[in-house]
Amino acid sequence: MSKINIDKLSLRQLKTKFENNEFAIPEIQRQYVWNKSRVCNLMDSVFKNYPIGIGLVWTAKYSQAINIRPNNKTIIPPFNQRASHADLIIDGQQRLSTLYGVLFGINENPEANSFINFNELFFDCDKAYSTRFLFSKRLTINSEGYIKLTTLLNTPPSILKNKLKLKTWEAKEAEKCYAAFHSYKFYLLNFEGLEYDDVREIFIRINSAGMTVSRADTLFAKASNVELRDHMLNTKRGLKYGYGNITIDALQNTLGLAYGAKKIGNAGFNAFLKKIDANKQNIKDFEKIWKKLHYGYMEAVDFLVNIMKVKQLELLPSQNIYSILSYFFFLNQSRAKPNQIREIKKWFWHTACGDRYSGSAFNRNIPADIKFF
């Protein structure tokens, strides 16, 4: 039986929870994905006292708080491992991460997938403008009419006015912004008394109801015990020649094939999950298989660019071609020999020019190609 409470926090109380390292982000969560526009919209909503939604937090004993995302992969700071319990963010991670970034002036963190420098977010003191929050690299603390939001929120208005030598109209608007943020109430729905598997199911159900959960995110949530998300994103970032923009689905398709799938899609993933969940030995096996997969992903790019002269991902007729080719190099674990190159070239042009991976032919040709490779 779960116990549910709703916490109503001021900005100061929320900041204290951040400073005490009370939050943790579980592996089921994706990385930070917001852009500057969404950050500005969130700030504007708080400024105008609009509702921004409720965060969902699972409070668990530290011994239960398994599969926490590595600290360098998140904007929110490292969880306090000496605490008796952990507050794991199940929903609202993007909002809470953004608020932390703004309050503490966090720079870009590519490992957390954040390319936002929160120190470049400014409040526009001119009330004639409807958009009061903006990112700028050219503005400074001396720019008339603009105040860095991190500084504004962390400095009482009377001190801020003297510190920045603000004009009366600037100080008045800054005080209005400070008051709006510090009087705002942030809501967290807190629950406890459940096991991790239940929480994982809650995460999937909540996201399915509120937004479209991709097949990739669902699989990441279910395979958090092997840190599949981080494995795939690290590999994806390492692909050269612009192939780092390949979809996660394309990588996951090859993963399914490596675990015995005869088709591209959910069947292979279910087989993979069943093996991973079976016992700890299979988790160790995953690391061995992943090394071979990593080689396959890398070598497929090299082959497409240097042998097939497909030097841009956009020129690839179907990303399923990449998935199948990666599977070949996963199996082969070496560069293609001349006779293999000849056969792959035949397959590539036959598939690329014949639309073999589109329409009703897809389900017929994919299994045949898997068997061929």
The upper half-sphere exposure of residue 266, i.e. CA atoms within 13 Å in the direction of its Cβ, equals 5
The answer on 220 and 204 residing in a single domain is no
Asked whether residue 275 falls in the same domain as residue 197, the answer is: no
Please tell me whether residues 112 and 260 are part of one structural domain: no
pLDDT digits (tens, 9 = 90+) for 304-360: 999 999 999 999 988 999 999 999 999 999 999 999 999 999 999 998 888 788 766
Full DSSP string of 7-62: EEE-HHHHHHHHHTT-EE-BTTS------HHHHHHHHHHHHTT-----EEEEEEET
Q: Verify that 235 and 340 share a domain, yes or no.
A: yes
The DSSP secondary-structure symbol of 336 reads: P
Based on the fold, state whether residues 90 and 234 are members of the same structural domain.
no
Characterize the bridge pairing of strands 146-148 and 133-135: unpaired
Q: Which parts of the chain register pLDDT below 50?
A: 210-212
The neighbouring-strand residues paired with 58 are 88, 191
* Whether 121 and 257 share a structural domain: no
Question: Looking at the domain assignment, is residue 106 inside a domain?
Answer: yes
Alpha-carbon gap, residue 6 to 4, rounded angstroms:
7
Residue 264: the pLDDT is: 77
Distance CA 25, CA 9 (A): 19
- The pLDDT of residue 44 is 96
Q: In this structure, is residue 148 part of a structural domain?
A: no
Residues 87, 233 within the same domain: no
- Note whether 188 and 251 are same-domain residues: no
Give 3-state DSSP helix, strand, coil % of the chain, rounded to 5.
Answer: 55, 10, 30
According to DSSP, the β-strands at 55-61 and 186-192 are parallel
Q: Give per-residue burial for 80-95: e unless 16+ CB within 10 Å, then b.
A: eeeeeebbbbbbbbbb
pLDDT of residue 64: 63
In a domain, 167, yes or no: no
Whose CA is closest to 73, among 237, 283, 314, 316? 237
pLDDT value, residue 212? 46
Question: Tell me, what's the pLDDT at 259?
Answer: 85
**In this structure, are residues 243 and 301 in contact, taking their beta carbons and an 8 Å threshold?**
yes
Is residue 156 assigned to a domain? no
pLDDT for the residue numbered 277: 63
Give 308-311 contacts, CB < 8 A, sequence gap 24+.
Answer: 308/345, 308/348, 311/241
22 and 35 both lie in a single domain: yes
| Alpha-carbon gap, residue 202 to 87, rounded angstroms | 15
With helix as H, strand as E and coil as C, how does 87-155 read?
EEEEECHHHHHHHHHHHHCCCCEHHHCECCCHHHEEEECCCCCCCCEEECCCCCCCCCCEEEHHHHHCC
pTM as predicted: 0.65
The count of domains in the chain is 2
For 340-369, b/e burial (b = at least 16 CB within 10 A) is eeeebeebbeebbeeebbeeeebeebbeeb
**CA angle at 249 for the pair 243 and 255, rounded to the nearest 5°:** 95
CA distance 31 to 265: 23
Among candidates 131, 201, 181, which has minimal Cα distance to 13?
A: 181
Segments of 203-344 assigned E as strands: none
278 in a domain, yes or no? yes
User: Are 222 and 191 within one domain?
Assistant: no
Residue 170 lies in a domain: no
Domain extent for 34 = 3-141+183-210
**Closest Cα to residue 64, out of 232, 219, 191, 205?**
191
